[in-house]
């Protein structure tokens, strides 16, 4: 199994293989899968994983809520709070709906808003794996927003590979390694045969070639 030292080594090599860019690149983890028949197994990994080390540029959170829940969401640091009047007004504006779906990493929504969101935004959020997490009126939304600042979504997109971000250039190799291990352990638990379903484990920067381990045994 890949360990922390392996990931530190991979992170260093990925940096060496990548040229300096005019933007901060992300570290991406790629796990190839084996011994899974996607015709028989519903391989649709779409996991929300909380990392030990948040990214330098933290994920953005949008909350659909009204009343006290909206007030607490704003005080809790939500990047945007959308109340029902704004949602109704924007529902017929496809460009605005696409912009909302694109601009925020995660969405939370008061349970009463879910039918409206499904109708107005479902076609834009669904394919991105961003459908909101429902919030009951008494939900501790402040703490949930802060927890989502450490979250990442890992997806398979119905292919024999699982991919997702585990850090960025400004983070240390050790932080990248710990995040990658957290993701690897979570995905292992979701596989039919655990780590036996892992092929190669790779790490890359946005514009670098993947650095691969040997096949996981």
Hey, what CATH topology would domain 61-148 get?
A: Rossmann fold (3.40.50)
The gap between the terminal CA atoms of the chain, to the nearest Å, is 7
DSSP 51-98: -SS--SSPPPEEEE--HHHHHHHHHTT-SEEE-HHHHHHHTT-HHHHH
The answer to whether 204 and 14 have CB atoms below 8 angstroms apart is yes
pLDDT of residue 38: 73
Could you say which architecture CATH assigns to the domain 4-56+151-212?
A: 2-Layer Sandwich (3.30)
Q: Which residues pair with 198 in a beta bridge?
A: 33
Tell me the pTM.
0.84
- Tens of pLDDT along 136-169? 888 999 999 999 999 999 888 667 899 999 999 9
- Measured over the CA atoms of residue 112, residue 114, residue 119 and residue 121, the dihedral's sign is positive
Strand order in the sheet with 133-135: 80-82, 61-64, 106-110, 133-135
pLDDT of residue 132: 94
Average pLDDT value over all residues in the chain:
90
Neighbouring CB atoms inside 10 A of 57's CB total 11
Q: What proportion of the chain, given as a percentage, has pLDDT over 70? A: 95
Segments making up each domain of the chain, as ranges: 4-56+151-212, 61-148
- Among candidate residues 57, 72, 69, the one with its CA nearest the CA of residue 26: 57
pLDDT of residue 42: 66
- Tens of pLDDT along 90-111? 777 888 889 999 999 999 999 9
Q: Is the pLDDT of residue 217 over 50?
A: no
- Tokens of residue 78, six digits: 């939500």
109 Rama class: left (phi>0) / alpha (psi -120 to 50) / beta = beta
Cα–Cα dist 31/44, whole Å: 14
pLDDT of residue 75: 96
The answer to whether 106 and 37 have CB atoms below 8 angstroms apart is no
Q: Which residues pair with 102 in a beta bridge?
A: none
The answer to whether 132 and 109 have CB atoms below 8 angstroms apart is yes
- Among candidate residues 111, 125, 120, the one with its CA nearest the CA of residue 69: 111
- Map residue 42 onto helix, strand or coil: coil
pLDDT of residue 205: 94
- Tens of pLDDT along 22-78? 888 999 999 999 998 877 766 778 889 999 999 999 999 999 999 999 999 999 999
Q: Is the pLDDT of residue 214 over 80?
A: no
pLDDT of residue 88: 85
Q: Which residues pair with 134 in a beta bridge?
A: 109
pLDDT of residue 167: 95
């Amino acid at each position: 199994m890949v360990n922390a030292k392996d990931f530190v080594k991979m992170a260093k090599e990925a940096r060496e293989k990548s040229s300096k860019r005019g933007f901060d690149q992300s570290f991406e983890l790629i796990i190839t899968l084996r011994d899974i028949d996607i015709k028989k197994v519903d391989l649709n990994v779409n996991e929300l994983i909380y990392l030990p080390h948040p990214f330098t540029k933290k994920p953005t959170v949008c909350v659909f809520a009204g009343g006290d829940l909206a007030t607490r969401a704003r005080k809790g640091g939500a990047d945007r709070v959308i109340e029902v009047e704004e949602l109704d007004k924007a529902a017929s504006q496809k460009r605005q709906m696409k912009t909302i779906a694109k601009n925020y990493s995660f969405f939370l929504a008061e349970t009463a808003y879910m039918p409206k969101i499904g109708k107005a935004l479902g076609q834009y959020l669904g394919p991105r794996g961003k459908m909101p997490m429902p919030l009951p009126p008494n939900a501790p939304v402040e703490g949930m927003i802060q927890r989502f600042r450490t979250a990442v979504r890992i997806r398979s997109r119905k292919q024999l590979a699982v991919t997702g971000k585990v850090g960025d250039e400004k983070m240390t190799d050790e932080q990248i390694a710990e995040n990658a291990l957290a993701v690897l352990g979570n995905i292992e638990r979701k596989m039919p045969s655990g780590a036996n379903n892992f092929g190669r484990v790779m790490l890359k920067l946005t514009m670098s070639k993947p650095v691969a381990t040997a096949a996981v045994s």
